[in-house]
Structure formats: structure tokens, C-alpha cells
């Protein structure tokens, strides 16, 4: 990770960690970088945060000042920007969003011309330009100054793409959608309505400050209650920029990203559509996911945490399904990034094709109890490499055997060591988490 750009773009509190000056300079550099041999065309989308409008105009100003044309999708989803960039041959795309973070945070995600996250090398060049390490880029003059273009038509084409994915009507299904007062508010209901569902929507009245507030995929309990009380067949909750989706079955039970991948992967494999019978997940996927896949003849590949790592593994080995427990799932046939609305459509399609309820499909995967403890430490590397800590981890691994697992890793953003154990019972999990945490403390590695 760089100074500004992390695993999911340049993120920070609006006008504190991420300012309009930052946005302007990002626009200036991208307009110049992609416009060295032709007039660059860059598409911009944003979520519903109040500060998103401010950053949209700052980015557009920077782009046009460098001679690029800025095409504005307005309020839309991250995957829609990826889709439009890829299908409309833009030089790159920019999404203004801090995903599932609170409204006062925001972020700048840069998408390359193939619809995936921008190469880290380009992000490093942007950082150097922001910090004045590299030379100033020239200002466009006269007829070379760029323009802004209203491109809401691009968002409409993306909606059409989503509607074209399912092969059967959703007629007869009552579906709940929690749009998190975010980007999905502009798209999700129209897609489900067009497919024939009786669509019931909550948290789709954004005011600039209520995005992700007690709603969406980070507060799934709101949708669980709504599905139960209204006797719906299922429900889908998105995050602020709708690149994630978690589901709720007819009984109001959570169906997380692991279960969604298992359900869709198993069905796709039965149809002969799952590449090499393999699903790509991260090390944080539940042990129950791997065991269910193994039982049903599916293979799994685990990557480091982060959708970028999942995507790279999929591209490198030709896999077509992968994702994270958090609901960030990639269906490579249809998208090059996680797409929450697409995920909900794929899950609906599986329910309809198999003629089964979401609950019955989800019950085929047992979720192992999991306990996670974050330990604040003075030095993450020192704690992770400590011989006594490593010995404690090995001892836990040996005792858990095939019936559980332990994962100890440093946080990517905070001075924390995360100790996670999965096993047959919460008591067993607690026991082995404590065995490692106690060693971290006794070795003097924990912060006061």
C-alpha cells in the first residue's frame, strides 16, 4: 500500500485526510497521463455522500485543465463505472466513494481501461505528483482544454446489462432490497421491477448523510427484520457503492458471501459452467465453506485478504467465480469487479432454476463458530515474528487438526494483530484464541 492509495483507493475523511486539492491533483495527473498521445476521456461516478459532489467537480476541473474530457455518470455504483469503462472504451474511470464507511469519509477509486482496479505503479506516480516529487504537468490551453459531458446514458446501459443477465423472470417472488441510502438507490429497484419481481425497498432515500447509517450490508439486522415481518421470499443488502451484497433468506437468516459463493458455485458446477470446478476465496472464508465445497466435489483456492488478490488469482488461472465473506463477489463472465446487484441477480437465478428456497440452499453449508480477537500491539512485525507467538500458533494448529483452524495476521491499517479461530464450538475457539493472546501479552508485545 502507498501513502495515499490503499487496497481500495485513496480514502479518508472528507477535507481532512482527503481534500479537494488531492482530488484536483488526481484529475490533473490522470488527464495528462492518458492524454499524452490523444485526447483522454475519463468517466466519473459518485455515491450519495454530501462530499461526493465536491470531489466530482474537483476531479472534473483537474481533468479538463489537463485537456481530458470528463464524462459524468452522476450517482451510480462502482461496478457500473467498471462496466462503462470497459464497454465504452474510456481511458479510465473514477468512482467517488468510501464504500461501507460513514458519510463523512470519502474515497477515490481509479479503474483502468479494462474495468479493473488501476495498476499500483500508476497509483504510485499519482502519489509522487501529489507530493511534488515528480514534475508539474502542463495546463491545456485554448481548444485543447477539456470539457465535461453529461453521461447518464452510460448508467442506463449498465442497467440494461443487468436486466439481460437472468434467463428467467422473477415474477411471483417477493424480494426485499436494502439500498443503504447509497448508490444502489438509483439502480436496484428498477432492475428487479423490470425482471418481474414484487420489489419492496428500504433505505433508498439518500440525503447525503444517511449512507450506511444503521442500514445496508453492514447492518443486516434491519433487512432481516423487514423480510420476516413482510413474509418475503428473500432480501438483499448492498453497501454504499453497491459492490457488495449480503442476502437474507425467507426466515430472516443471514446468507453471507461464503454461502452465496457456495450456492452459486455448486449450481454453476452442476451446469458445467464453473471453471476447473474451483471457487477462489480469501483466508478469512469460514472453514464450513471449504468443507462444504470439498464434500460436493468443488475445489477452493484461498488468497490473502482483499478483492484485488482474489481478482488476480482468478485472472492468472482462468477461474470465473471468487470473492469474500463480506459479499464482494466476482462473476468473471459478467464483470471484472465485485458487483452487489449482479450478485443478487445470480443468487435469484439459482433459486429459480433449482426451484428451491434460499434457506434450503444455504442450509447445505454449515457455518463453523468463529472467534476473532484484535490485540493492539506496539509493533505488528515484531509481534507476528516473535518465536513464542509462532510456537503458540503451531501448537494450536496441531491440536485443532482437521476440525478447526487458527489464523493470526496483522491489520493492514491499524497497529493490531488479529487472532481468529474456527472450530466445532465457541468454547474451543475461545480456548485457542486465548492461548495465543496470552503469549502476546506475556511477551510484552501488547500496547498499554
Residue 296 marked in a binding site: no
pLDDT digits over 272-288, tens only?
A: 999 999 999 999 899 99
Residues 316 and 399 placed together within one structural domain of the fold? no
Task: Among 318, 341, 362, identify where a domain stops.
Answer: 362
Residues 232 and 269 placed together within one structural domain of the fold? yes
Residue 99 marked in a binding site: yes
Average of pLDDT values for 245-263?
98
In a domain, 349, yes or no: yes
Residues 286 and 190 placed together within one structural domain of the fold? yes
Q: Is the pLDDT of residue 402 over 90?
A: no
Residues 339 and 192 placed together within one structural domain of the fold? yes
In a domain, 66, yes or no: yes
The predicted pLDDT at position 1 comes to: 59
Domain with 331 in it: 165-362
In a domain, 448, yes or no: no
Mean pLDDT of the chain: 96
Q: Is the pLDDT of residue 32 over 80?
A: yes
Residue 442 marked in a binding site: no
The predicted pLDDT at position 414 comes to: 79
pLDDT digits over 291-339, tens only?
A: 999 999 999 999 998 888 999 999 999 999 999 999 999 999 999 999 9
Q: Which residues are catalytic?
A: 99
The predicted pLDDT at position 8 comes to: 83
Residues 229 and 346 placed together within one structural domain of the fold? yes
Residues 189 and 105 placed together within one structural domain of the fold? no
Residue 233 marked in a binding site: no
In a domain, 274, yes or no: yes
Cα–Cα dist 393/406, whole Å: 7
Residues 403 and 267 placed together within one structural domain of the fold? no
pTM of the model: 0.92
Average of pLDDT values for 390-409?
93
Residues 389 and 295 placed together within one structural domain of the fold? no
Q: Which long-range contacts (CB under 8 A, 24 or more apart) does 117-126 make?
A: 117/308, 117/311, 117/337, 118/92, 120/2, 120/5, 122/33, 123/2, 123/4, 123/5, 124/2, 124/5, 125/29, 125/33, 126/4, 126/5, 126/25, 126/26, 126/29, 126/30
Q: Is the pLDDT of residue 15 over 70?
A: yes
Total domains in the fold of the chain: 3
Cell numbers found for residue 311: 481478482
Amino acid at each position: 500500500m502507498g501513502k495515499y492509495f490503499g487496497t481500495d483507493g485513496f480514502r479518508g475523511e472528507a477535507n481532512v485526510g482527503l481534500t479537494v486539492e488531492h482530488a484536483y491533483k488526481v484529475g490533473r495527473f490522470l488527464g495528462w497521463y492518458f492524454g499524452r498521445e490523444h485526447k483522454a476521456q475519463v468517466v466519473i461516478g459518485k455515491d450519495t455522500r454530501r462530499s461526493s459532489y465536491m470531489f466530482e467537480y474537483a476531479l472534473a476541473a483537474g481533468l479538463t485543465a489537463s485537456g481530458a474530457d470528463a464524462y459524468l455518470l452522476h450517482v451510480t455504483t462502482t461496478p457500473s463505472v467498471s462496466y462503462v469503462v470497459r464497454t465504452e472504451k474510456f481511458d479510465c474511470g473514477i468512482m467517488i466513494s468510501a464504500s461501507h464507511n460513514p458519510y463523512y469519509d470519502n474515497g477515490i477509486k481509479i479503474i483502468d481501461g479494462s474495468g479493473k482496479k488501476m495498476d499500483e505503479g500508476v497509483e504510485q506516480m499519482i502519489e509522487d505528483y501529489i507530493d511534488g516529487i515528480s514534475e508539474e504537468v502542463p495546463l491545456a490551453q485554448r481548444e485543447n482544454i477539456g470539457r465535461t459531458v453529461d453521461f447518464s446514458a452510460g448508467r442506463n446501459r449498465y442497467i440494461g446489462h443487468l436486466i439481460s443477465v437472468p434467463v428467467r423472470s422473477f415474477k411471483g417472488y417477493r424480494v426485499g432490497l436494502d439500498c443503504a441510502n447509497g448508490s444502489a438507490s438509483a439502480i436496484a429497484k428498477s432492475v428487479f421491477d423490470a425482471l418481474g419481481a414484487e420489489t419492496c425497498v428500504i433505505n433508498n432515500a439518500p440525503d447525503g448523510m444517511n449512507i450506511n447509517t444503521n442500514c445496508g450490508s453492514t447492518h443486516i439486522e434491519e433487512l432481516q427484520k423487514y423480510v420476516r415481518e413482510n413474509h418475503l421470499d428473500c432480501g438483499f443488502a448492498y453497501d454504499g457503492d453497491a459492490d457488495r451484497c449480503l442476502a437474507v433468506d425467507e426466515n430472516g437468516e443471514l446468507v453471507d458471501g461464503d454461502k452465496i459463493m457456495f450456492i452459486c458455485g455448486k449450481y454453476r458446477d452442476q451446469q458445467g459452467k464453473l471453471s476447473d470446478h474451483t471457487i477462489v476465496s480469501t483466508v478469512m472464508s469460514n472453514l464450513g465453506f471449504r468443507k462444504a465445497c470439498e464434500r460436493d466435489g468443488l475445489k477452493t483456492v484461498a488468497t490473502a485478504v482483499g478483492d484485488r488478490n482474489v481478482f488476480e488469482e482468478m485472472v492468472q488461472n482462468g477461474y470465473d467465480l471468487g470473492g469474500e465473506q463480506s459479499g464482494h463477489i466476482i462473476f468473471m463472465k459478467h464483470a471484472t469487479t465485485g458487483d452487489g446487484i449482479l450478485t443478487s441477480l445470480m443468487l435469484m437465478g439459482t433459486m429459480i432454476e433449482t426451484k428451491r428456497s434460499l434457506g434450503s440452499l444455504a442450509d447445505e453449508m454449515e457455518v463453523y463458530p468463529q472467534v476473532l480477537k484484535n490485540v493492539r500491539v506496539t509493533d505488528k512485525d515484531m509481534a507476528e515474528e516473535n518465536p513464542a507467538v509462532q510456537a503458540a500458533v503451531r501448537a494450536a494448529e496441531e491440536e485443532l487438526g482437521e476440525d478447526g483452524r487458527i489464523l493470526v495476521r496483522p491489520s493492514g491499517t491499524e497497529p493490531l494483530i488479529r487472532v481468529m479461530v474456527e472450530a466445532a464450538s465457541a468454547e474451543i475457539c475461545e480456548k485457542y484464541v486465548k492461548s495465543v493472546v496470552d503469549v502476546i501479552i506475556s511477551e510484552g508485545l501488547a500496547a498499554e
